[in-house]
Structure 1
Amino acid sequence: MNKKHLEDVALTIFSNTTQKFPDSQWDRPEEWYASFSGQNMRWELIGLLFSSWALSALQNKEDIDGYRPRVLALKFFGIMESCITFCQDIKANNVLFLYLLYRTTIVSSILHGPNDPGFWPLHSETVSLARSMCLSTMSDASIQDPRILKQSERRLFTAIYILDKTAATLSGKLPLLPSDHCSTALPLDICNTILLCWRTSQGVNLASLGVNDEGWNVDGKIYSTTTLRARGLIAHIREQILDLALNRRARDLRDLIDFSPDE
């Protein structure tokens, strides 16, 4: 592949990224995925691919193609930052870019730790974009919406909320996403297979989705969303403990004795 061809590919990707992200509610998940991949490839997705490779490299203990895992992950991290810069220049503020910011923040925390000067600007931008997209205040009317985009948004926001509380705990800082300002419900505990196979013609029936009235799956299995929901509840409790620990005002001992999490 010569330089001219690479330039043409890059220009095509830039052109695709300038297009409004397809955030409409697609009836078929594969149509939604095809709208930003293949010939519609965007910089957000390229950055996400490198984030997966970076996380995979960090799990290796042996050299990869002559590179030490951490060195390779740092190279991938640099490419992720470049993809973020491209998206920022184009003002591509969408859920896919938000996911890229979140994944880059995760890789940064593993490589450098949550106290690194580079971590908090990334995390702050992630939180800021999530709030500007109103993901922190999603309508309760959409809680049972099983469409892939809506559930993906709920899953992503819950993951960002968890990271926010974890980073605050490890660094001793106040969370950037206080629960008082977040009303978005947890995502449904749906198996990915069900989520991908669901069609609008089926209607919204919690029983057919395999979840109870509280959103938990009823088949006794542990899915990725099962642990995500549980960690979301734990993060809420952690925030309440942080509030007590970081509040410098004098507190009556009874405040601590009477403290009991909602969950």
Structure 2
Amino acid sequence: MQPQSADGASRDPTKVRRNLTYDQCYYHPAPLTRVHGQDVRTRSVRRQARIARREAALPSSRTAVSTPASSGFLGSTSYLSVFRETPRLSKAPDRSLCDEFEQWRTKLEYAAARVVRLASAIPFYLEQIRWYYDKGRFTVIPAPIVLDSLSQTVAHMESHPWNVTGNWASIYSDLMAATKSPLEISPNTSARQFNSLFTGPHLRFEFIGFIFAMAGLSVQGRFPGRQSLELGNGEKMDTDAFTTEMVLACHHCIEVCKQNSHVNDLTIWMRYMHILLATEVLGEPSERVYSLFGDLTSDIYAMGLHHQPSDHVPFFLAETRKRMLAVSHRTDKNLSTAMGRPPRLPHRYCDEALPLDLPDESLFEEKDSLERFLQRLDDGGWNRDGKFYPATLMRMRHILSNLREQVLELSLGRSTHPNYTKDILATYKFSQTIFNRIPSRYMYTSSCWKEMDAIECLARMIVRLEHLFSVLQLQRIRCQENSEATSDLLDTCLEVLSIVVDLTGQYNIHEIKKQFAWIYLLKPRSEVIRTLSFLVSWVRNTVTEAQPSVMVGACLELNNVIFKLLDDALNYRPPLGSGQEDARLRSVDTGQSFEISIQGTRGDLPSDVFNIGLASGESLSWLDDLDFMQTSSGLSLM
């Protein structure tokens, strides 16, 4: 039943609580989660705290004990597992939104009215998602199917406007009825016919939830956290509040869809995008995110996407399914690494058919035009033109996820297995050859920054770093079995460092600065030295060998490494007469942008830019005194 006013008119339950007018109804985030009896000042302070930057702690509005971002098991590959022995130093802020999720789950009338009101802002979402596809080079769902269906939805809502204040219950009921109907798809279904199944009068909760998640990701990438947004339906909220609300609203749509027994493509899209947005809001180590991905995996298996012929669906949908499976594989391995838990989407149970290396628009071409695009592919399914499409990146990362899965099996599996040593050797050989499956024209090189746009170079670099991450973890395992593998571990570390140094030369580019502001090497040299000096001093005064902890030896050993690096940097004396070099170093010292040219990835590393001669064998002599076996066995470096 809808609440009734004194004159008998229906009233929006999201505004009944305090007799507010429409303009006064500023109810984000989660107005019903406050504790009754608190004074107005306390409530105001807590509301402001919730909409602060997400990296700040989000205090709970209830008196219950807050739930940490990750309270479950963390395996050896999880960087968070390092801090298990010092919880007072690593207590994560509560970003679980437990109160808000509980409100949406229990206050069904509020949730229904809220979803309808948020869905009425679809024109605003179309604007943001269109920006997302205009600026985003590497999206997942092909742009035409998303933008065309959104445009059709906006056109229908403009011709049939919603009365979200007085008729929200009827609108919600219509959405529920449409969602209960299965999607009927045949091999001859066109893109327009497919769109008509979930737009216009057939608007469904799966598509609405997908829109919520996409809009949240778009706004999160477009605006700063405290940017005020006008949704076009009378509401205002800042960026952080909006993205949080999109997580909650999309989650409600998912819960509604779970009441039906059928799973479809829209369900998979909605779940995957919701996971991406929830990761931004809740953090990657969140137990809720981990649980959400488990639900996505269950739906993938239920639909048979892991082992399903594509001859009973149209070409564009078959390729989209391959893309979804590819990105889900990659997300599965990354999440397993972050949590230190076994993968839930193993390659051994899935078809290895990669999505074809085609541009998004070609998937919707007529048969003759599509055939011309297919003729441009080589035998491996790569485009011969060397173009870097979204599908190109998906293929590369999907291939490398095979290596990550094998490394995870070695890291998280039983080291007492009789074939463990043989498996290490086989995986090591596989790591040296897997890159051969990717054409050389798509490899990362230092020179690509001068020849291509920054986003494409960044994509190539990330793929290379993903490969090196797996190799580095594998080298650490090899070092535990054979100390002679230490040199290979150092070579891999230097290769990673050389790529990061490459990145420092591009820090003046906005896209780079925004994505990698957390890398300390990108900060001014003086700030790096101050930070490391403070760290060394703190460790020396806090950690002692007398403390009964297996981490102490590793901490002290790494502290010695940092101490020696600081000595090299502070005691550095440049050759006399190198005026040009002095000027270059001064520009680095003041934090100005600079360009570094790297000819290779190992012996010719130009680390002298930072006044630490890592390139010379003489400067690395202090490494001989470092107990690598103690460090690698006592500390999870990655």
Give yes or no for the alignment of 1:167 onto 2:335: yes
CA separation of 1:46/1:2 partners in 2, compared to 1, >3 Å: closer, same or farther?
Answer: closer
CA separation of 1:131/1:203 partners in 2, compared to 1, >3 Å: closer, same or farther?
Answer: farther
Query: How many Å apart are 1:229 and its aligned residue?
Result: 0.7
1:178-209 Cα shifts (integer Å, max 9, x gaps): 1111124111111111111233xx49847645
Which deviates further from its counterpart, 112-121 or 1-10? Answer: 1-10
Map of 2:396 onto structure 1: 230
Give yes or no for the alignment of 1:216 onto 2:382: yes
Q: For residues 27 and 253 of structure 1, what CA distance do their matches in structure 2 show? A: 52
RMSD: 2.4
Instruction: Name structure 2 gaps, 5 residues minimum.
Output: 1-162, 230-235, 435-638
Map of 2:228 onto structure 1: 64
Provide the aligned length of Structure 1 versus Structure 2.
258
The one-letter code matched in structure 1 to 2:305 is: L
1:127-165 Cα shifts (integer Å, max 9, x gaps): 0110121111134x75xx971111111111111111101
Q: For residues 146 and 128 of structure 1, what CA distance do their matches in structure 2 show? A: 24
CA separation of 1:208/1:246 partners in 2, compared to 1, >3 Å: closer, same or farther?
Answer: closer
CA separation of 1:176/1:118 partners in 2, compared to 1, >3 Å: closer, same or farther?
Answer: same
Alpha carbons 1:189, 1:225 under 8 Å: kept: yes
Map of 2:268 onto structure 1: 98
Query: How many Å apart are 1:91 and its aligned residue?
Result: 2.9
Alpha carbons 1:188, 1:215 under 8 Å: kept: yes
Map of 1:79 onto structure 2: 249
CA separation of 1:189/1:6 partners in 2, compared to 1, >3 Å: closer, same or farther?
Answer: same
Alpha carbons 1:135, 1:157 under 8 Å: kept: yes
Equivalent of residue 125 in structure 1, options 285, 295, 298: 295
SS at match of 1:216: coil
Alpha carbons 1:137, 1:184 under 8 Å: kept: no
Query: How many Å apart are 1:216 and its aligned residue?
Result: 1.2
Query: How many Å apart are 1:36 and its aligned residue?
Result: 1.5
The one-letter code matched in structure 2 to 1:225 is: A
The one-letter code matched in structure 2 to 1:160 is: S
Alpha carbons 2:213, 2:277 under 8 Å: kept: yes
Give yes or no for the alignment of 1:43 onto 2:205: yes
> Relative contact order (C-alpha < 8 Å, sep 6+): which is higher?
1
1:3-35 Cα shifts (integer Å, max 9, x gaps): 443333222221111111133234421221222
Q: For residues 254 and 153 of structure 1, what CA distance do their matches in structure 2 show? A: 36
1:93-129 Cα shifts (integer Å, max 9, x gaps): 1111121111111112222223212112211110011
Alpha carbons 1:146, 1:204 under 8 Å: kept: no
Query: How many Å apart are 1:253 and its aligned residue?
Result: 5.1
Alpha carbons 1:138, 1:184 under 8 Å: kept: no
Instruction: Name structure 1 gaps, 5 residues minimum.
Output: none
Equivalent of residue 256 in structure 1, options 397, 421, 424: 424
Equivalent of residue 243 in structure 1, options 409, 412, 418: 409
Q: TM-score, normalised by structure 1?
A: 0.88
Q: For residues 207 and 220 of structure 2, what CA distance do their matches in structure 1 show? A: 20
Query: How many Å apart are 1:169 and its aligned residue?
Result: 1.1
1:22-76 Cα shifts (integer Å, max 9, x gaps): 3323442122122211222110110011101111222221413263422221111
The one-letter code matched in structure 2 to 1:176 is: R
Alpha carbons 1:26, 1:32 under 8 Å: kept: no
Alpha carbons 2:333, 2:404 under 8 Å: kept: yes
In the TM superposition, 1:196-207 aligns within 5 A as: 196-199=364-367, 202=368, 205=371
Q: For residues 41 and 178 of structure 1, what CA distance do their matches in structure 2 show? A: 34
Alpha carbons 2:362, 2:370 under 8 Å: kept: no
The one-letter code matched in structure 1 to 2:199 is: S
Alpha carbons 1:137, 1:182 under 8 Å: kept: yes
The one-letter code matched in structure 2 to 1:169 is: T
Query: How many Å apart are 1:82 and its aligned residue?
Result: 0.7
1:216-243 Cα shifts (integer Å, max 9, x gaps): 1122111111101111111111111111
Identity %: 22
Query: How many Å apart are 1:174 and its aligned residue?
Result: 0.8
Query: How many Å apart are 1:88 and its aligned residue?
Result: 0.9
Map of 2:280 onto structure 1: 110
Q: For residues 239 and 206 of structure 1, what CA distance do their matches in structure 2 show? A: 36
Structure number, greater radius of gyration: 2
CA separation of 1:209/1:55 partners in 2, compared to 1, >3 Å: closer, same or farther?
Answer: farther
The one-letter code matched in structure 2 to 1:63 is: Q
Map of 2:194 onto structure 1: 32
Map of 1:185 onto structure 2: 353
Q: TM-score, normalised by structure 2?
A: 0.38
Which deviates further from its counterpart, 219-228 or 33-42? Answer: 33-42
